[in-house]
Chains A and B, each alone.
Chain A
Amino acid sequence: MAETKVNLISHQKLESMTADEKIDYILGEVKHGEVMILERGLTPEEQSKLIEKTMKEINPDKFIGIEMESYREDGKLNWLQKMMGKIRPPRMTVIGPADKLKTIQKDNDIIKTVILGR
């Protein structure tokens, strides 16, 4: 059975990158078959950018997309905080290739996934 790398990424590593750099880094690793667990995930805007870029990279015979699961951010911001650009910090996130990583259960408190062998 082929082995799968599971990479735990600290929030410091991602915080040193721009949004585009984060997305390129994550997508590059996932396209190589690796599973990423982010200590702090992506903002909603970064998530939608990641989905957009994933769609551009889909190759029907090699890469069918990603499996991504995260918890919702904690707390609530008032409109002034939002206007000032404050965001709620993203939470732990798992991202992997869709043909390898499958979510079997998800709710507010738990994300259960399996990594399929080949």
Chain B
Amino acid sequence: MGLFEKLRIKLRSIFGKKHVRIGIYGPPNAGKTTLANRISRDFTGDVVGSVSEIPHETRRAQKKDNVIIKDGSALLTIDIIDTPGIATKVDFHNFMEHGMDEEDSRRRAKEATEGVIEAIRWLDNVDGVVLLMDSTKNPFTQVNVTIIGNLEARDLPVLITANKIDLDGSSPATIKSAFPQHDVVPISALTGYNMEMLYDVMVKLFGKSRRK
């Protein structure tokens, strides 16, 4: 990234922005599309994409433009980019374990690799990121480390969201201890628990709390 691009991003972070493009990132099955659907449904009534327990359900980035998030008197207009899950490996046998036949599993694996590439490339075109982690799993994964490292190198704001706190074994505190320098908001995208707090932090972090 060149010096002028870095300066542009820094100035924008200082003066705030009315309309931002926010990428929802994370490993496969963290609940990214469930969160994108929750945000979109809360403010527009629409959904962004389909969800599944089979990993790599989202294999192309999905976009929902002009979602106006309201938090009290503060507003923020966002374009949501629901990105495919980032992984360092894709094995079609994993899909067969979910009951898919071999041909479909191989096709899904191929599409999943293309989705990972697309997700990484979107990092160059977002203003901020909601990094979603499954709070029932170990957060010290290379995917999380790589995504956060890339965002810090670009000086982009990142909001870590500890998802699935409705499930047994959830531990948002472990995520907080793993990434103490970042905001961590525990939520359940499925049930909607604590979404108000997420919207509050999103408006403050991504939009500098623009007032009516």
Contacts and interface: CB of A to CB of B under 8 A. Distances in A.
A83 B6 contact: yes
Interface residues of B, number: 36
Contacts, number: 92
Contacts of A8: none
B109, B121, B140, B155: most-surrounded residue (chain A CB, <10 A): B140
Contact of A45 (B3, B110, B153): B153
B150 A82 contact: no
A69 B10 contact: no
A65 B178 contact: no
A50 to B, nearest CB: 8
Contacts of A56: 113, 117
B145 A51 contact: no
Interface stretch (B64-72, B88-96, B197-205): B88-96
Interface in B162-191: 177-178, 181
B149 interface: yes
A interface secondary structure, majority:
mixed
B36 interface: no
B90 A69 contact: no
A118 to B, nearest CB: 16
B121, B146, B178: most-surrounded residue (chain A CB, <10 A): B146
A69 B10 CA distance: 30
Contacts of A51: 86, 88, 116, 120, 146
Given A65-B89, A66-B89, A83-B3, 5 more contacts: A43-B153, A44-B146, A55-B113, A55-B116, A64-B90
Interface of A: 43-45, 47-48, 51-52, 54-56, 58, 60, 64-70, 72-73, 76, 79, 82-83, 85, 87, 98-99, 106-108
